[in-house]
Every structure is written in C-alpha cells, then in structure tokens.
Structure 1
C-alpha cells in the first residue's frame, strides 16, 4: 500500500524541516517581520525625517512624502504586497506566478538600502544623527527588522524523495503530486513562471498600455532627478525592484503578453516615447533624450553586426563619424571646404552612402578573418579614422576636416519650412530645439527598428544567425559566408551613418575626439558594444534599453569625479554576473546561460 504525502499549500511555504535562511528566526515570524516591515515603511514616509530643508527633497513635512521618501514608499508597498501574496491572500496570487520568497527578499533589500542610504546621507550632510526627526529613526528600525525577516526565509527547498526508476506510472504520478512544489520550483529556476489564465486580447492590450505608461513614468522620473542623492536612491530602488519582478515571474509573464501583440507593443512604445518631450518644461532633459536616441539608434545598428551576424566590431563608432562628417561638409558649414548647402534629405543620403561605402571598403578585406583577429582589425580601423580626421587639416594632409578643430557651425535643419532650431508651440506646450530633434531621431529610430525587424526575419537574417551560431556548419549548408557577413557590415554601417547625419546638426560641431574607442561619456565603441551585450544581443528592445541606461547613468554620475568609471564598471560587473544574457534576452541566449536551471523544466515537459 502506497502512503501519500500531503504537499504544502504553496511553493512559498515549505514543509517542516526546510532549511532556514541566514538568520535563525522561525519562518512564520520572519515572514511577518518582512511583511510588517514593508507596511510600516510606507507609514514612516508620511512622517518628517529631518527638521531642516538643507537636505533636498522636502523631508520635513508630515503627511506628504517627498524626494527619497517616495522611493521608500514604493519599495515598502511592493514588499507588503509580495508578503501578503506569499500568505495566500485572495486576489494577489497573480503577483507571484514564479513564487514570492525571492521577490520579498529583494523588495525588502530595496526598501532597507534606500531608507538607510537616506538616513546616512542626512547624517553626513547635516553633521550627525541629531538632525533626524522621529520619522528617520522609525524608518531605519522598521526597514532593518523587515530585511532581517526577509533574510531569515529559506534560500533553498528540500530535495524530493528519490523515486524508484522501475515504479509504475501511477506511483510516479502520486510521487510528483506529493512533491509537486519542488518540480514547480525547478521550473521557476529555469525562468518559467506558473501558467496564468490567459486574458482576452482587449485586456492584454490594456496591460501593454499600462506597462508602457509605467516605463515612461520610470524613465521620466530617473532622467529628471534634481540632485545626486535622489538619483542614487532611484538606482537602488529600480535595480532591486526590477530583480524582484523578474524573480516573481511578472517580467516573464509580461514578455509573453507583449510577444503575442508585438506590433501593438512596438507602436505603443514609440507613442510613449513621443510623449516624453511633453512632460518637460524646458530643454534640459530633452537634450539628454535626443542623445540617448542617437546612441540607441547606433547601438541597434551594431546589433545587426554583433547580435545577428556574430561579428565582433570594436571600431563601429567610426561609421557614426563618417556619416556625421559627410553630412556636416555638405550642410553649409562655413568651415567646410565645399561651398554647398544640401537640403536635409540630400545630407542624409550623403551621410548614409558615405558610411555604406566605408563599410564595404573596410569589410571586403577584413571579413575573411574571424574572432579575435577581426576584432583587432576593426579596432585598428576605428583608430585610423580618428587619426586621419585629425590630420586632414591642410598641414599634415589635404584640407578636408579642419583637423582637431573639426567642422564647426553646422546650421540647424529645416524640413519643409519647419526650422528645428527654434521653439514651436504644439497644443499649448512649448517644444524647444532639442525636443524638435528628439522627434526627428524618433522617426529615424523607427526606420532603423523596421530595417532590423524585417532583415532579421528574412532569409538573409536567418543566414546571419546561422553564421553566428556555427560558421563552418553554415558554409557546409551552402550559405555564402563572406557575402552574408559583408551585407551585415554594410547595413550596420549605413544605419550608423544615418544617425550621424542628425548628430552633426544637434552638436553643431564634428570633431575627431567624439569618436574614441573608449571614454567617460558615450557614444564610443566600447559603450556601444556594452549597450548591445548588456541590453540583449539579437533583440530590438535590448540595445535600446541598454543604450538608454549606459548614457543616462554616466551622465548622472559625473558628481563622483574620478570614481565615476569605477562605480559604473562595478555596476556592469554585477549585472553581467547576475544576468549575463542581458536585460531583454534572446530566448536562445537565455537557455545557453541557464542550461542547468532549464534542464528540470525540459525533462518535466518531455516526461523524462
């Protein structure tokens, strides 16, 4: 007679004897501490944390959260919700399709880190903890208790009892039912959340609208942080909360919904981006926005070369420079040796064709190389371009680029009588110069996304992927490797030159120092490659998100001075350690990096 074992009610509540966390606190008490800490953290944000307004952020008011208190409020609210979801509260099960313990820990850490960072910043800036009001002490105590409770939760689940390989099908079924929570946990580790009921198409579209609205809100808040402490707190909260949503399975579930409505998602993303200038009152942050779009467009072009074709190009920023120089020379600049002033469409064609020609000329002799050798040659090309542009000053060489002074005083664009260099009023909102260029770059980004999507789904796109995965096998299957790689190189160079034509008019001046291999501020070849890898190779959203982060974060961390690159590099190391497949991973690459975790899920689906 087979004895059945009653499984636990939830994957989040293990059976008796389960291993504890870092701290020896009973699990029920630990869960209550974590959840209660989140609730009390929310309450503490309505208290004053300091008595003086010398610390920015309006932390002296009762009943009105401001500045860093808002971030603690968000972290505490998420902690409370995840804690209640792990208790099985009706109506909150959708929050944790992949389990809530890990998400509860991460949101508790986010709340604790942001709160204690704020308390310490107030103390150091104002000269001691005596400058704290009761709310500051309360939030420090409750978030500490909450994070201790979260860390006391189990980090692993007990292994299921071994099953006899000769057991009958019925015995196997009863065994899996008794220990089904462990099988589910293994599939969670593989990134596969518990299946949720599929919503009607109209509701899924509303979910997509909500996701895009949240993304716009987060980006606008991050780019508009007015002081250094607030931006650091924003990074802490956003980083931990994103990881928590991923561990809870909400990111994977949202990815499935957007994948089912890909066209609507892409169109909605561009509509949300077009709303960004209307959220700004001046050009201060629209300036950063237009540079982010230039950087993102070039990164998406590099994604064709690196992400689809698998060609490591370390000199890609040179194609951006070729397009910028070509457009600047024919756009009526007084420092140009050519006395011509082409209209915008002609300047765009000149910049894109110049980059195309250079891409073919450089790719033809070098693409017969592979791997590290190709990377070294492309790195050399990038340096040759910069040095050549520096020497074409009429002294060391022909007078073409004006040497280190560059091509200056590039006039603003005028399209169909619409001058992008002056302010315009649209719907009662004043749109400044950089906002005008933001809309132009948004259109160019849409063109680049369309090219990437269509080429990736085409026959040539499948050939690129085959070359990337195994060039020898692709050649054996009849793919013309050199021609396919040259097309990828040429398309990527053309897209970079297209973005370069707008960059020349946005910056007014094109100089060789703008196109280094590495530097503190992008765009440069190292940051472009990092944007593709960290964002997610072979995807559309990955390089766009990666480029936005890699441009925004160094720009906001300039107050760190000499420690800026150290802090930034440390953040990249941590990101690659915990999410090597990128923020928006390609499914194939995600499985490559998590083969061991995915194995149980694959075996369970195949019945092995």
Structure 2
C-alpha cells in the first residue's frame, strides 16, 4: 500500500520526516515475528482459562475450558493475529503481498491490550478487589502485551494494492455470505447482552477488529467486491434483516430497539437525499416525520382522534406522505432561495414552528386537531384483515411479538425507501443534485434546473419521512409534540454525516450506531451528548467522508491525495473495459 506511512524506510534522507514508529529500537528484529506469535498463542490459551473468581461478573468468567462470549471475542482476535502472522511470514505469504499484515497486527495487539485492561478493571470494580482476577486473565493480558510489542517491531512488506486483487466470483460470493452471517450473529449477540459493560467490551472488540481489517486493506478489497456483486450483497443484506427477529427468541425488548433503529434509519435515508445528494443543510427535518405521525394518529381508531374518517392504513400512509411532501414544498419554495447557513437557520425555525403549532391546535389557541400538548394517546395497533400487529404470532416454532410484527412492516418500507434512493441517485436527477451540491453556480450555468431540483429534493425527502411517520404513530401508541424537538433533527443529520453522505450502507450504519448505543449504554446517559460531540469532532478530523463513504466523497475530502485519485481512476477504467 503505497500510501501507508509504515512503508517509509529508516534510512530516509530527512531523519525528522521518518515516523516515530520506524525509529523504534528493535525495528525489523528477527525476534519480532516469534514474539508476536507467542503473544497470539497466549492470547488464545488464556481465554480458555478462568478470568474471574466470582461467577456473577460480566456473565460468567469463572469456568476453565468453557469460555463465554467475551472470552470468545479474544479468541477471535488471537486467531486473526495468527492468520496475519502466517500472511507476514509462512504458508500464507502470498496473501501478505496484498495485505499490510504488520499494521493489522498492531491494531489487533492494541485492541487486545485495551480490551483485557478494561476487563480486569471491570472485574476489580464489580468485585471490590483486583485480587479476584484469576490467572487466566493475567495470562491473556501478557499475551496481548507480547503481541503488541512484537507487532510494533514488524516492518510492512505488502507490495501490491488490494484494490487491484483478482479473485474468482464464487470466492467473492462466499465471502459476502460469510460476512453477512457474521453480522447477523454478531448483532444478535450484542443485543442479547444485558450488561452495559459487556456490551461496551463487545463494541471495543468489533471496532478494533474492523480497524485492523481496514489498515490491512481487507475492506478496500471488500469495497471492490461489493461493487461487482451488488445484487448478491443487496439480497443477502435483506435476508439477514429478515432473519434477525428469529434470532431474538421472542424478546420484545430487543425487537423494540430494532424497530426504533429502522424508523430512525428510514427517516435518515430520506434526509440523505436532501443533505447527502443535494447538499442542502436541513435542521428541521424531524418535522416531516412528525407530520406523518400526526396524520397516522388523527386518522387512526384512537378514542382521542379528532377526525371521524378512518380510511385503510394504505391510504393513511399515502396521505401522511403527501402531507409531509406538501409541507416540504411550502417551506421549500421561499427558503430554498437562500443557501448555506441561512438555509440551516430557516429550516431550524420551521422545525420549531411545527412543534409549537402541534401544541397549539387544542381547540383554545387554534382548531381542535391534535389535542395540543397532550397529543393523541391510545393509538390502537394496526390490523391487515385478520392479522393483528399487536398480537404475537408463532412462525417455525418461534414466537414473534408485537414489535417483531412492526419490524417486518418497517423493513418493507425501508426497502422501498432504499429502492427509491438508489434509483434517484443513479438517474439524471441524482446527477443534477450532485452537481448542485458541488457547485451550484456551475450547475446553473450548464443548464441544470437548480431551484426545481432543490425543491424536488425537499419534497421527496419529506415524502419518505412521512411514510415512516405513519407507522411510528402506531408503534409508539401515542403522538405528542415533545417527541419532535430540534435534538432529534440534529441526530438524524449526524447519522447521515457519521455514516457517509450519499450512501445507503453508510446511513444505515450511522443510524444504527446513534440509536442503538444510547439504548444499551444507559449508564453513560448523563454524558451522552459530550461523548457524541467528541466522536463527531474526531470524525471530522480523521475521516470527514464518514464511516462508509463513496469513492466520490473520498476524493472530495481528500482532493490533494493524488495517489488515491489515480487508484480510483484505474479501477474505473478496468471496470469500463470489463463491461465493454
């Protein structure tokens, strides 16, 4: 990987320009590889021994030769370290030509050290004494330290860019299937963790392993593979999402979190059209979700609904989406003539106006439509014919509760939103939005209908949010104005920015992170906003294009990286030649 800083040699002409890592004592030592291998072996062996004397800490870490989930995470890190060591020197050395095994090993070693240190501290904190840590925990920590020390002395040897790796189609498809299966079982295991510290440790494991694979170049190759097998990846992802409720054993708590994530993700995908494609900063987008929710509540069979007409739910979805789209047109027509900070201020004001308006439609300050601050409670569950979403149903011997029923409905709506987003993104309209985002004046000079496309982006995004809102009303059982505050708009915008503007997978990942973490890490609820702000600052500094960014966005944020531009251009040329 020619862009890696570890490729610089220690005898560089300018000593100050050589990274500190390259000047470390023992760099390139013959003992580095055996030391790292011993560390990986101890990492695996120690995980099969008891870590804790009490049996009620972080699950049960007190049994020898019967590791629990947290210990198996360390085993996975050890196995990954062995594979990269064999790729660095051994029977997998041909693989090492394509992957930066040394960088991956450093991240695995660092992750294992932090993981074990946090685990030992947690055991000592929960039991009241560090002496309650059994020898297995210390052996595993020593193994992690040896692995880190050995990996720091290794020198990168990869000579080929994984961006140009050629693999057979069947191998790529199998890799996608295995990866999706790991995502399914990993998500099921993570949601099943009731202890917040255990959940945080699992996140640390997943994050460090992902960083190791990223530094090695595995995700670079996976990005190319995903582009070549987009249909397989798409159908596989929906299969995983469909099977997810069957892994929860009828848990209403976990499925409630999953449905909230889907509502949030579906709404964020609509915002992705406005922000990610058209480049319009909207800080009041939550109002469109609220408009759809209020339509769903007012036209429901609730005893507190103020309108006597009760159409079928399919009609309600369309009405809610259209009302939101009309609001998008109303607010968009005058405000889209401004841009940048002014547009952000106006949309923020629109979101607050919507919330106060819903609170004033109580029959005293305005028409009796929304019951004012009290909202519309007691919204009944949906019914499609004889199918009641509020009742549990047994499928393949597994009981699926109320939230699982709504999960499947929201999955269909999310699939429709993703389909619309992809079609728009790949159309002339999508290219027009991108042109407006990059340079509005240049786009207008080239004949792009700037105002029309901006208005369509506002209305289209609002339409999709309104669809999700109608389901949210029945899922939440009640609708009140205080559910649609500015902070919710900020979190939606953060999900788009954090995941990767203009991409589907990025927004789904961002929405999942921002909705799932507060639910599972309630012990840091008082510091949630501080941690959230810190994460965004770090993201803007080190990865402004988002966690999962398109190649176009990478170039926009790294326009001075000539090597990256050349690599992406070569890949595009190869894809064009293959299609021809």
Same fold flag (TM > 0.5): yes
Could you say which residue in structure 2 is the equivalent of 1:99? 100
Shift of 1:145: 2.5
Could you say which residue in structure 1 is the equivalent of 2:291? 322
Residues in 1 aligned to 2:538 and 2:86: alpha-carbon distance in whole angstroms: 30
Residues in 2 aligned to 1:207 and 1:224: alpha-carbon distance in whole angstroms: 26
Could you say which residue in structure 2 is the equivalent of 1:591? 555
Could you say which residue in structure 1 is the equivalent of 2:150? 149
SS at 1:340 equivalent:
coil
* Change in CA separation of 1:84 and 1:576 when aligned onto 2, cut-off 3 Å: farther
Size of the aligned set, in residue pairs, is 558
Could you say which residue in structure 1 is the equivalent of 2:334? 365
* Change in CA separation of 1:82 and 1:597 when aligned onto 2, cut-off 3 Å: farther
Summarize deviations over 1:133-180 as a string: whole Å, max 9, x none: 1112212222122223333445xx8xxxxxxxxxxxxxxxxxxxxxxx
Could you say which residue in structure 2 is the equivalent of 1:242? 210
Larger helix share, 1 or 2: 2
Shift of 1:91: 3.2
Q: Are 1:289 and 2:291 an aligned pair? A: no
Q: Are 1:269 and 2:237 an aligned pair? A: yes
Shift of 1:26: 4.1
Could you say which residue in structure 2 is the equivalent of 1:216? 184
Residues in 2 aligned to 1:373 and 1:307: alpha-carbon distance in whole angstroms: 18
Shift of 1:90: 2.0
| Correspondent of 1:350 among 287, 294, 319 | 319
Residues in 2 aligned to 1:61 and 1:23: alpha-carbon distance in whole angstroms: 40
Could you say which residue in structure 2 is the equivalent of 1:77? 79
Could you say which residue in structure 1 is the equivalent of 2:67? 65
Map residues 220-235 of structure 1 onto 2, 5 A cutoff: 220-235=188-203
Could you say which residue in structure 2 is the equivalent of 1:173? none
378-387 or 576-585: which moved more?
Answer: 576-585
Residues in 2 aligned to 1:453 and 1:603: alpha-carbon distance in whole angstroms: 25
- Contact 1:307–1:538 at 8 Å: present in 2 too? yes
* Change in CA separation of 1:588 and 1:431 when aligned onto 2, cut-off 3 Å: same
Summarize deviations over 1:248-303 as a string: whole Å, max 9, x none: 11111111111112122112111110000000112120111111111000001100
Q: Are 1:207 and 2:171 an aligned pair? A: no
Summarize deviations over 1:419-456 as a string: whole Å, max 9, x none: 11101111111111000000000000010011001111
SS at 2:162 equivalent:
coil
Residues in 1 aligned to 2:217 and 2:543: alpha-carbon distance in whole angstroms: 15
Could you say which residue in structure 2 is the equivalent of 1:49? 51
* Change in CA separation of 1:99 and 1:72 when aligned onto 2, cut-off 3 Å: same
Residues in 1 aligned to 2:316 and 2:379: alpha-carbon distance in whole angstroms: 12
- Contact 1:11–1:99 at 8 Å: present in 2 too? no
Residues in 2 aligned to 1:423 and 1:92: alpha-carbon distance in whole angstroms: 53
Could you say which residue in structure 1 is the equivalent of 2:131? 130
Shift of 1:222: 2.1
345-354 or 319-328: which moved more?
Answer: 345-354
Could you say which residue in structure 1 is the equivalent of 2:461? 492
* Change in CA separation of 1:136 and 1:310 when aligned onto 2, cut-off 3 Å: same
125-134 or 443-452: which moved more?
Answer: 125-134
| Correspondent of 1:549 among 513, 516, 521 | 513
Shift of 1:507: 0.2
Could you say which residue in structure 1 is the equivalent of 2:381? 412
Report runs of 4+ in structure 1 exceeding 6 Å deviation.
10-16, 603-606
| Correspondent of 2:301 among 332, 339, 352 | 332
447-456 or 60-69: which moved more?
Answer: 60-69
Could you say which residue in structure 2 is the equivalent of 1:32? 34
Summarize deviations over 1:559-603 as a string: whole Å, max 9, x none: 123223223333333333332211110111112223344437729
* Change in CA separation of 1:583 and 1:406 when aligned onto 2, cut-off 3 Å: same
Could you say which residue in structure 2 is the equivalent of 1:117? 118
Q: Are 1:482 and 2:484 an aligned pair? A: no
Residues in 2 aligned to 1:408 and 1:603: alpha-carbon distance in whole angstroms: 56
SS at 2:317 equivalent:
helix
Summarize deviations over 1:46-83 as a string: whole Å, max 9, x none: 00011111313211011111142122222222222222
Shift of 1:397: 2.2
Shift of 1:212: 1.2
Return 5+ residue gaps in structure 2 as ranges: 13-17, 571-580
Q: Are 1:530 and 2:494 an aligned pair? A: yes
Could you say which residue in structure 2 is the equivalent of 1:171? none
- Contact 2:86–2:92 at 8 Å: present in 1 too? no
SS at 1:595 equivalent:
coil
Q: Are 1:430 and 2:430 an aligned pair? A: no
- Contact 1:193–1:252 at 8 Å: present in 2 too? yes
597-606 or 298-307: which moved more?
Answer: 597-606
Return 5+ residue gaps in structure 1 as ranges: 1-9, 158-180, 186-191, 519-523
Shift of 1:13: 8.9
Summarize deviations over 1:472-515 as a string: whole Å, max 9, x none: 01100111111111011110000000000000000000111111
| Correspondent of 1:471 among 422, 440, 447 | 440
Map residues 555-566 of structure 1 onto 2, 5 A cutoff: 555-566=519-530
* Change in CA separation of 1:26 and 1:478 when aligned onto 2, cut-off 3 Å: closer
TM-score (norm 1): 0.87
Residues in 2 aligned to 1:597 and 1:34: alpha-carbon distance in whole angstroms: 33
- Contact 1:331–1:411 at 8 Å: present in 2 too? yes
Residues in 2 aligned to 1:226 and 1:504: alpha-carbon distance in whole angstroms: 28
Could you say which residue in structure 2 is the equivalent of 1:513? 482
SS at 1:425 equivalent:
strand
